[in-house]
């Protein structure tokens, strides 16, 4: 492992707290150290109060912040003297501790301090770093873990047996550190949990962490326990319908829709195909910090009912001994290992599913290294249960507000690179959906930057192969299709019927009708498996009820598409799929309407551009975002009992009314 410290970069971070920010970010850049909010850092600073007096403050990473992207405001400033007093108490429950911590934060609006705040406070060093380094976990999570740790580090670290994070851990660390620390001590290893380093400067603490982890890596190399299977993409072996059916079963077990991502990298396939995969994977996670995200264990194979029952049995075995009554979490797994599919990860959102995948990828690395070292051994079941059903996590779940309406659901939207299609994608993303956006414009891939909940696929919807490939990609990314928005279409230049060629007619029909029929047909089995029922929204046109001259091909194609949607509404109702149509008109904020075209059309009618945009009954402008919002609402609970409807969004058109 190499230090990422860079003098030029570091010079841009002046002062103790900003130096803390910089080295925290360095730790976060290396995902073998920390991942997705894991790890913790702190610095002790003496600061002036508003009264002119000075006080000692512990700046500790706040809840919800990730070390890789943390900024100054991501650290919670907590009064250090009070933390020291708390550390001397005989007992303190975790809820009481968190309440005490919150009363000692000196900045309004600061994040909640870490549950390990008191532990950071009692360590007699200005800077403290804590990571869940893969190499250290691979060493500690073995039968001879403590022996290996002492062989690697000697007196350079204090060794702490596993105890759940919180007040009791801080007390144990204080007593063990006072007893075992030596002049050479630069760190502390928490068995089955992680490693601490400390120093007088941010650089010293950071580079001590790098040094400690490097020693663990070299030990593993020397024992032939380093290196794992490659993680490049492998072949897609599950059909979209097969994956959607598995996601439906898992969502039903959870009692809520879940996004499911499938990972077919060689590492996952090789691990899932090991003869001993059940023994290795069913012990528990590499560190208790991963339990909340991943749940207790992966499902082996696809027997969802058996896994759910095993989870209920696990809860029953352990909840009776719990100090406080527990409310059982949903019994569905958050990951599954299958010899054909590799690794499937699940979450209430695409981001959650991605986090589970990242965490379990590192867990596999730890398991394989520990196995090569002599045998992987995770925490006992009771310890895992205590973390999964921790009072603080239970309280967090109770405080959580109502999730967005499309949480756990997937929308497929055509023509998503711009205009109405992009606005639809934005509306669904805002409501918590994962979105698969298709467009013939390759820019769809980056239509929303890099985010876990959007997959942009360059796709010609008139190509059967391209559509099937897009569905494969979308279902592998998110597990299925719950909502389908048919927006892609073409609007040819004005041409009277007597001048309309066969080629132009067929081109418009191929895109506006035939391609949408194919998408509906291919998506039907996926929509039928949607946990909350399938929904289809067709973007029609005012030209259906009120056609205009020169638009025969467009008007006829949109009318045919509308009629297709009406028939689908009749046929698919028994499959819990509702189909509705939106008829927009005069939506001018799209690529078709340049300033020059708008000015020309307005002048043709003797209107200003503003008057032309609002030339409807309500004298209002209809924007792409308005259409996107209506399309999303038609997939939501407000329209739960509506199918076969045609809703105009045109500001009121006298020919339609």
Query: Do the Cβ atoms of 398 and 427 come closer than 8 Å?
Result: no
Does the pLDDT of residue 66 top 60, yes or no? yes
In degrees to the nearest 10, what's the CA dihedral of 569, 573, 577, 583?
A: 20
pLDDT in the model for residue 232: 60
Q: Residue 185 CB: number of other CB atoms within 10 A?
A: 17
Residues belonging to the active site = 554
584-617 residue pLDDT tens: 999 999 877 888 888 988 998 899 999 999 999 9
What pLDDT is recorded for position 293? 75
Asked if 548 contacts 507 with a C-beta cutoff of 8 angstroms, the reply is no
More confident residue, 396 or 390: 390
The answer to whether the beta carbons of residues 220 and 135 sit under 8 Å apart is: yes
Question: Which uninterrupted H or E stretch holds 456?
Answer: strand 454-458
The yes-or-no verdict on residue 521 having pLDDT over 80 is yes
Looking at 3.40.50.300, 3.40.50.720, 3.90.1300.10, 2.30.110.10, the CATH number of the domain 410-587+622-649 comes to 3.40.50.720
Provide φ and ψ at 76, rounded to 5°: -90, 125
Whether 277 and 491 have beta carbons less than 8 Å apart is answered as no
Whether the Cβ atoms of residue 26 and residue 55 lie closer than 8 Å to each other: no
3-state secondary structure of 560: helix
Chain-wide mean pLDDT for the chain? 94
The predicted-structure confidence for 142-176, as pLDDT tens digits, reads as follows 999 999 999 999 999 999 999 988 899 999 999 99
What DSSP state is assigned to residue 608?
Answer: -
Residue 270 has pLDDT above 70, yes or no: yes
Q: Where are the domains of the chain?
A: 7-222, 240-320+329-399, 410-587+622-649
pTM: 0.92
Above 60 in pLDDT, residue 631? yes
pLDDT for res 477 = 97
Q: Fill in the DSSP letter of residue 651.
A: S
Name the pLDDT band for 650 (thresholds 50, 70, 90). Answer: very high
Strand order from edge to edge, sheet including 299-300: 259-263, 342-347, 335-338, 299-300
Strand residues in 171-263 grouped as ranges (E): 187-190, 194-199, 259-263
CATH of domain 240-320+329-399: 3.40.225.10
Neighbours of 103 (CB within 10 A): 10
Q: Is the predicted pLDDT of residue 275 greater than 60, yes or no? A: yes
Please, what sign has the CA dihedral across residues 46, 48, 54, 55?
negative
Separation CA 461–CA 114 (nearest Å):
49
Q: How far apart are CA 357 and CA 255, in angstroms?
A: 22
Read off the pLDDT of residues 476-492 as tens digits, 9 standing for 90 and up.
999 999 999 999 999 88
CA–CA gap between residue 425 and residue 417 (Å, rounded): 9
Q: How far apart are CA 284 and CA 422, in angstroms?
A: 42
473 three-class SS: helix
The least confident of 6-20, 322-336, 343-357 is: 322-336
Ramachandran area for residue 64 (φ above 0: left; ψ -120 to 50: alpha; else beta)? left
Treating both helix axes as pointing N-terminal to C-terminal, what angle do 16-29 and 202-222 enclose, rounded to 10 degrees?
20
Least confident of 222-236, 347-361, 445-459, 509-523: 222-236
pLDDT at site 295: 81
- Tell me the range of 292-301, 316-325, 376-385, 523-532 where mean pLDDT is highest: 523-532
The closest alpha carbon to 265, from 184, 393, 358, 389, belongs to 358
CB 437 within 8 A of CB 451: no
What local confidence, expressed as pLDDT, does residue 8 receive? 97
Grade residue 235 by pLDDT with cuts at 50, 70 and 90. low
SS3 state of residue 436: strand
Local confidence band at 233 (pLDDT 50, 70, 90 cut-offs): low
C-beta contacts of 653-656 below 8 A and 24+ residues apart = 653/542, 653/546, 653/585, 653/616, 653/617, 654/617, 655/545, 655/546, 656/542, 656/545, 656/546, 656/583
- Angle, CA 561 vertex, CA 248 and CA 629 arms, to 5°: 60
Residues 394-433: pLDDT tens digits?
A: 777 777 778 999 999 999 999 999 999 999 999 999 999 9
Residue 391: its pLDDT value, please? 82
The percent of residues in the chain predicted with pLDDT above 90, rounded, is 85
- Provide φ and ψ at 158, rounded to 5°: -95, 135
- Cα(358)–Cα(555) distance, integer angstroms: 49
CATH no., domain 7-222:
3.40.225.10
CA atoms 591, 593, 595, 596: torsion sign: positive
How many angstroms separate the CA atoms of 512 and 557, rounded?
Answer: 6
Q: What pLDDT was estimated at residue 600? A: 86
Tell me the β-bridge partners of 128.
Answer: 42, 198
Residue 494 DSSP label: P
Q: How far is CA 240 from the centre of its chain?
A: 21
**Average pLDDT of span 51-76:** 96
Q: Which residues of 218-243 are buried (b: 16+ CB within 10 A; e: fewer)?
A: ebbeeeebbebbeeeebebebebbeb
DSSP string of 107-152, one letter each residue: STTPPPBPTTHHHHHHSSSSEEEEE--HHHHHHHSBTTHHHHHHHH
Mean pLDDT of the 432-436 span? 98
Q: Is 240-320+329-399 in the same CATH topology as 7-222?
A: yes
């Amino acid at each position: 492992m190499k230090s990422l410290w860079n003098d030029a970069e570091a010079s841009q971070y002046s002062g103790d707290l900003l130096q803390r920010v910089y080295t925290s970010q360095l730790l976060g850049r290396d995902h073998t150290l920390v991942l997705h909010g894991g790890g913790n850092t702190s610095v002790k600073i003496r600061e002036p109060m508003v009264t002119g007096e000075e006080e000692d403050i512990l700046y500790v990473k706040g809840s919800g912040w990730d070390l890789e992207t943390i900024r100054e405001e991501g650290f919670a400033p907590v009064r250090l003297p009070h933390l020291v007093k708390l550390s001397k108490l005989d007992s303190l429950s975790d809820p009481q501790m968190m309440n005490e911590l919150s009363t000692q934060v000196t900045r309004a609006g600061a994040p909640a301090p870490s549950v390990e705040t008191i532990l950071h406070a009692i360590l007699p060093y200005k800077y403290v770093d804590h990571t869940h380094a893969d190499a250290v976990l691979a060493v500690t999570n073995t039968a001879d873990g403590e022996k290996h740790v002492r062989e690697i580090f000697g007196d350079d670290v204090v060794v702490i047996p596993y105890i759940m994070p919180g007040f009791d851990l801080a007390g144990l660390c204080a007593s063990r550190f006072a007893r075992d620390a030596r002049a050479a001590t630069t760190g502390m290893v928490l068995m089955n949990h992680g490693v601490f380093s400390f120093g007088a400067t941010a650089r010293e603490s950071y580079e001590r962490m790098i040094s400690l982890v490097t020693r663990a890596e070299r030990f593993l190399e020397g024992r032939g326990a380093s290196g794992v299977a490659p993680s490049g993409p492998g072949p897609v072996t599950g059909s979209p319908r097969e994956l959607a059916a598995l996601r439906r079963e898992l969502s039903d077990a959870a009692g809520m829709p879940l996004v499911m991502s499938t990972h077919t990298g060689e590492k996952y396939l090789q691990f899932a195909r090991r003869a001993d995969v059940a023994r290795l994977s069913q012990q528990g996670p590499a560190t208790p910090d991963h339990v909340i995200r991943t749940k207790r264990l992966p499902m082996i194979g696809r027997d969802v009912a058996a896994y759910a029952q095993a989870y209920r049995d696990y809860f029953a075995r352990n909840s009776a001994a719990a100090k406080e009554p527990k409310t059982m979490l949903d019994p569905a797994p958050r990951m599954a290992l299958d010899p054909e599919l590799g690794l499937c990860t699940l979450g209430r959102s695409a981001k959650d599913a991605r986090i589970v995948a990242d965490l379990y990828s590192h867990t596999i690395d730890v398991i394989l290294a520990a196995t090569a070292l002599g045998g992987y051994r995770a925490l006992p079941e009771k310890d895992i249960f205590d973390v999964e059903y921790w009072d603080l996590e239970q309280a967090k779940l109770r405080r959580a507000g109502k999730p967005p309406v499309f949480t756990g659901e997937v929308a497929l939207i055509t023509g998503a690179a711009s205009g109405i299609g992009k606005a639809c994608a934005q509306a669904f993303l805002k409501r918590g959906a994962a979105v698969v956006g298709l467009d013939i414009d390759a820019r769809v891939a980056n239509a929303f930057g890099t985010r876990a909940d959007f997959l942009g696929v360059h796709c010609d919807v008139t190509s059967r192969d391209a559509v099937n490939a897009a569905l494969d990609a979308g279902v592998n990314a998110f597990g299925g299709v719950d909502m389908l928005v048919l927006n892609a279409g073409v609007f040819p230049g004005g041409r009277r019927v007597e001048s309309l060629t066969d080629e132009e007619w067929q081109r418009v029909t191929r895109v506006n009708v035939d391609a949408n029929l194919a998408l509906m047909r291919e998506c039907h089995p996926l929509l039928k498996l949607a946990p909350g029922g399938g929904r289809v929204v067709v973007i029609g046109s005012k030209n259906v009820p009120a056609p205009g001259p020169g638009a025969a091909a467009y008007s006829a194609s949109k009318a045919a598409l509308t009629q297709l949607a009406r028939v689908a509404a009749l046929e698919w109702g028994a499959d819990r799929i509702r189909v509705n149509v939106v008829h927009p008109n005069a939506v001018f904020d799209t690529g078709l309407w340049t300033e020059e075209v708008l000015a020309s059309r307005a002048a043709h009618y003797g209107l200003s551009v503003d008057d032309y945009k609002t030339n409807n009954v309500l004298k209002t402008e209809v924007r792409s975002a308005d259409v996107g919002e209506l399309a999303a609402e038609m997939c939501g609970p407000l329209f739960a009992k509506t199918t076969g409807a045609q809703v105009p969004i045109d500001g009121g058109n006298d020919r339609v009314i």
